Structure 1
Amino acid sequence: MAGVESAFPTKRLSVPTADPQPSFLVFGAPRIEEAEIAEVEACLRSGWLGTGPRVAQFEQDFARWRGVTPSRVAAVNSCTAALHVSMVAANLEPESEVITTPLTFCATVNAILHAGLTPVLADVDPHTQNIDPAAIEAAITPRTRAILPVHFAGRPCDMDRIMAIANKHGLVVVEDCAHAIESEFRGRPVGTFGDFGCFSFYVTKNVVTGEGGMILGRHEESIARARILALHGMSKDAWHRFSDQGYRHYQVVECGFKYNMMDLQAAIGIHQLARVEANWQRRRQLWERYDQDLAGLPLQLPPPPEPDTRHGYHLYTVMIDETRCGIGRDGFLEAMNTARIGTGVHYLSVPEHPYYQQRFGWRPDQWPHAVRLGRQTVSLPLSPAMSHADLARVIEAVHGLIPA
């Protein structure tokens, strides 16, 4: 309104302010560059946001990068979906037992349940934190039909021993590679050993689409079925129904799910995948700096990668034993949060959650290694988006909480 501004004094009063807090360091923040932003904008302007040409390109790029044909991969909307669809496509009998690790995210076990199967837990190796092949062998029963190993934190499981067990007993292997897109065992990428490999592109993962996943299959016919299952059981996706090639009729050939990836997600993933090696190198630098600067503290640090393997460097997990560190795990988490530094817990072991205890009668002490690790673990920030100053800030905070 005209004349109102002159009715107020022009002199501004200075108000004392407290020292500004440091910005919150987000745990696992992705590194997003201009290429992703431009691709997303182009996708929005194209009018094609759902499953279409960018998903097809992302699948082709992923297949080329992993050294397989595009007919052996299928993009979906999460690694959970990838695990679920893979187990359905494997034609396992209802209620069959699937052996997996107790030190994993709940999605691993939930996918087994959603596939109509029965999870069986085998304890982890306390050194690698991966499922122990000897524990797998001990858990096999006449009802066992599959093994679901998780390549924890980016460290590949011992796939030679796991595949030997699977071949001996005629078991399907579904690899959970959510943490391990770059990982290799004896020069071979993880996800290519079993019948299926399942990958995650969640916002904290090494390749990001926001939400998203990928299935890599040994057999083309299994992936063809997984692709159909991931989109309502329809014989054609939207791109093949509504593209400029003309309308194509579809048929529903199975009772499927709504698990398809969108072009809007793939627009991010195309450029993330193009930088996968550079981002891996940056995470390795951060990892080595953590190793160097935390070595004198009474923390249990991650062991070095095993010979003839490639670690994905996804999670830098340290173990906090209160008797040695002078602070408990949860106290450490709270103190880091007060310092405005995000951390993670990977993971409270599966049998500690009430749902599984009530459904299966699981007692945590049945898997002592996973339970101890789950009660002590903290994941420190690790992301190619982290600066040297971010890293120094985390290291300084840890030293302040756990003196040498």
Structure 2
Amino acid sequence: MEKKINFKPVRESYLPYGRQWIDDDDIEAVVEVLKGDYLTTGPYVSTFEQAVAQYVGAKYAVAFSNGTAALHGACFAAGISEGDEVITTPMTFAASANCVLYQGGIPVFADIDEKTYNINPDKIEEKITNKTKAIIPVDFTGQPVELDRILEIAKKHNLIVIEDAAHALGATYKGRKIGSISDMTMFSFHPVKHITSGEGGIITTNNKEYYEKLLQFRSHGITRNKEKLNEYHGPWYYEMQFLGYNYRMTDIQAALGTSQLKKIDKFIELRRKYVAMYNEAFKDMDEVITPFQHEDGQSSWHLYIIRLKLDKLTASRREIFEALQQQNIGVNVHYIPVHLQPYYQQLGYKKGICPNAEKLYEEMITLPLFPAMSEEDVNSVIEAVKRVVSFYSI
């Protein structure tokens, strides 16, 4: 007979897995834009771009309407086109691979490292062919990938590295900020990320050619730069020189993002504090595996994932998940491996090509982690996990 939890929830109110932190400074920044002359394509976008570039230590930054649009722009700037192969991880959100499809390219999935859950550099090398054009490594949960190895592989095979750092604003690799190392790096500003602009994304780069392509791509392929024009009819004149997209960020978004960026260090400090509380609480639990921290990288902790040892439990991952939800703990699962999605299955990707990612998916649960949590919130998550796991422990 199936065991059913009948104890009272540890919380009266529901705690989501992630949530934005908006204060009066943020609200005032947005109101200032609303009272001004520009709502979009005004001065706040460049201010935000400069602030992000300075924060991560990159020469250039180009803001987009969202992170997916930013990745699409990076694939365009990298010259990815029909039939080009791009290697990425299956353990990510669909956008990391979809951006390749947008350009007519072919996503190639390389399996993850069993400890870090990031893409395994050895598996990247195995997947390289004469059609490979780029690598899109993902800093999963905020932990940097093994950038030295990946950049070495890229240099050896003349590949471009587009780092998907949607989870990793503020993270460091060997003392350097993520965003200053790869050919191009994408950050996301969705409300559950480290800072938010509502929706929004950005590409940072040290390459002027990529920078100029990105600027033009996000605005219909149009330029007003006199040095690039084929003709010049007068001060009103512009040219659409290739098929771009309307991927521009608004001044409203940029003002919010700029205000949020001023608090990034505080936000990351709180995330790391709560992670330390989780690690300490779960370190002696035989039924769970806590996140591994690679010695070369300092995570900015977008997500905190526990991995269940199902052989030590009488319940499935789904039963544990639902039991935690019944405790008003807003758990989640990040992610369903991209190649298992129905659309990718229709494209011919098969189950079994990335066994480490597929096994991880069956065993992991994301716990709430965001700066606006309190220590009391964190302790309620800890209590719920301990209660539920011990109830189902063998």
CA contact (8 A) 1:184 1:190 kept: yes
1:116-135 matches, within 5 Å, as: 116-135=104-123
SS in 2 for 1:342: coil
1:54 maps to a residue whose letter is Y
Per the alignment, residue 398 of structure 1 pairs with 385
Structure 2 residue 364 is the aligned partner of structure 1 residue 377:
yes
Per the alignment, residue 49 of structure 2 pairs with 59
Q: 30, 38, 44: which is aligned to 1:48?
A: 38
1:300 maps to a residue whose letter is I
Distance 1:377 1:236, change over 3 A: farther
CA contact (8 A) 1:163 1:193 kept: no
**Which deviates more, 183-192 or 95-104?**
183-192
Per the alignment, residue 341 of structure 2 pairs with 353
Q: Per-residue displacement from partner, 1:96-121 (whole Å, max 9, x unpaired)?
A: 10000011111111111012110001
CA contact (8 A) 1:31 1:384 kept: yes
CA contact (8 A) 2:57 2:180 kept: no
SS in 1 for 2:141: helix
Structure 2 residue 261 is the aligned partner of structure 1 residue 270:
no
**Which deviates more, 111-120 or 216-225?**
216-225
Q: Structure 2 regions of 5+ residues with no counterpart? A: 1-8, 226-234
CA contact (8 A) 2:57 2:177 kept: no
Structure 2 residue 353 is the aligned partner of structure 1 residue 366:
yes
Question: Partners of 1:52 and 1:206 in 2: how far apart?
Answer: 24
Per the alignment, residue 96 of structure 2 pairs with 108
1:209-228 matches, within 5 Å, as: 209-228=197-216
SS in 1 for 2:266: helix
Greater C-alpha radius of gyration:
1
Per the alignment, residue 58 of structure 2 pairs with 68
SS in 2 for 1:63: helix
Alpha-carbon deviation of 1:248?
A: 4.8
Runs of 4+ with deviation above 4 angstroms: none
Per the alignment, residue 87 of structure 2 pairs with 99
Q: 127, 130, 133: which is aligned to 1:142?
A: 130
Count of residues in correspondence between the two structures: 372
Question: Partners of 1:157 and 1:344 in 2: how far apart?
Answer: 23
Per the alignment, residue 15 of structure 1 pairs with none
CA contact (8 A) 2:338 2:344 kept: yes
Per the alignment, residue 331 of structure 1 pairs with 319
SS in 1 for 2:352: helix
Per the alignment, residue 229 of structure 1 pairs with 217
Structure 2 residue 24 is the aligned partner of structure 1 residue 37:
no
Q: 257, 271, 290: which is aligned to 1:301?
A: 290
SS in 2 for 1:332: helix
Question: Partners of 2:272 and 2:295 in 1: how far apart?
Answer: 16
Q: Per-residue displacement from partner, 1:201-221 (whole Å, max 9, x unpaired)?
A: 111101111110011123112
Question: Partners of 1:30 and 1:110 in 2: how far apart?
Answer: 26
Distance 1:42 1:236, change over 3 A: farther
Alpha-carbon deviation of 1:333?
A: 2.1
Question: Partners of 1:84 and 1:264 in 2: how far apart?
Answer: 22
CA contact (8 A) 1:321 1:329 kept: no
Alpha-carbon deviation of 1:90?
A: 1.3
Question: Partners of 2:43 and 2:314 in 1: how far apart?
Answer: 55
Length-normalised TM-score, structure 1 = 0.89
Identity rate, percent:
37
Question: Partners of 2:224 and 2:204 in 1: how far apart?
Answer: 20
Alpha-carbon deviation of 1:322?
A: 2.7
Per the alignment, residue 240 of structure 2 pairs with 252
SS in 1 for 2:74: helix
CA contact (8 A) 1:283 1:383 kept: yes
SS in 1 for 2:318: helix
Question: Partners of 1:137 and 1:112 in 2: how far apart?
Answer: 19
Per the alignment, residue 160 of structure 1 pairs with 148
CA contact (8 A) 1:54 1:266 kept: yes
SS in 2 for 1:174: strand
Q: Structure 1 regions of 5+ residues with no counterpart? A: 1-18, 238-246
Once superposed, what is the RMSD of the aligned Cα atoms? 1.7
Structure 2 residue 178 is the aligned partner of structure 1 residue 190:
yes
Question: Partners of 2:314 and 2:194 in 1: how far apart?
Answer: 33
Per the alignment, residue 389 of structure 1 pairs with 376
